[in-house]
Amino acid sequence: MNLKATLEQWRMFKAVVEAGGFNQAAEQVHKSQSSIHHAVQKLESALGLTLFFNEGRRVTLTEAGELMYRRACYLLDEAHKVESVANSLKSGVETYLRIAVDIIFPPEMLYKALNKVSQDYPLLRIELMETVLNGANTLLKEGEVDLGISPFPLNSGFSEDLCEIDFIAVAHPSHPLHALNRVLTLEDLKGHRQIVVRDSSTERKAESGWLGADQRWTVSHVRTSIDIIRQGLGFAWLPLAIIRNELESGVLKPLPLEQGGLRKALLFLCFADGDRLGPAARAFLGELRYQTMSLPSVESIAE
């Protein structure tokens, strides 16, 4: 089956839509206004559709044009992906790896995985972005990163269960909740300050964990939360693997909750297109899986 339109015609059509007119599009794509106008006319003729109507100096999409624009964006995006896969195959080894990691993932394990990959691929440049909740998946959808470690599966792409993170409710040993010297209920927590971490996503905001406290401080990083709680200024559910040293030294102490003191969150390994991952990215994935096999448990902390 012969295609009626070329990718270049679709690209010119998309440029006109996003620039708001033929002259504006010509400046952005560095082509003459007449060549862009000719490409769009040929596209309309081939499709038998009117894609634009004029409003003064600007052009506006027809109803058919709106539908074609959405399809054209998808088509051009897929074409870029095909070329990206080809470039990856041609070059053999990628030189750049961008990773979004949710801040609840144990940093020591992450650093070990990164170090191993850097040793095996010394020319690899790594960009690490720390995210919260929906942040990693938003960066993946926007094409800002190649891989993501996220508390949520990716809607369009690949998601693999990576590991389960234990969260434990803690406060400083001198916090008033510990002074009650009894088993606590969630009702006991309501009158005290809870520390929570802000979603880093620009798409939609979410909050995780029990949020019933009358007073709440919201911070941007789990380390900030730990620092606040070390000062006796609140309580929080924190990742066990990250506060292991504080628990063992007695700087933080688990709250004796009747129920809900220990919570679990599943982390997913996400990427948009496996065919686009080079050998360094695949090596990182394998090392990451290996590192998560030794995640600490509540039992190991208690021992």
DSSP assignments along 220-276, one per residue: S-HHHHHHHHHTTS-EEEEETTTSHHHHHHTSSEE--BSS-SEEEEEEEEEES-GGG
The 8-class DSSP code of residue 180 comes to T
The token duo for 131 is 């995210």
Nearest Cα residue to 243 out of 162, 130, 165, 161: 165
- What would the mean pLDDT of 60-71 be, rounded to a whole number? 92
165 and 265 Cβ atoms separated by less than 8 Å:
yes
SS3 211: coil
The C-alpha torsion from 31 through 32 and 35 to 40, rounded to 10°, is 80
Q: What is the pLDDT of residue 208?
A: 62
pLDDT in tens, 66-97: 999 999 998 998 887 777 666 655 656 788 89
Whole-Å CA distances, 161 to 22, 154, 264, 266, 270: 48, 11, 13, 7, 9
303 or 226, higher pLDDT: 226
Answer yes or no: is pLDDT of 167 > 90. Answer: yes
Q: What is the pLDDT of residue 203?
A: 65
pTM score above 0.85:
no
As a whole number of angstroms, the distance between CA 117 and CA 114 comes to 5
Which run of H or of E encompasses 131?
strand 125-131
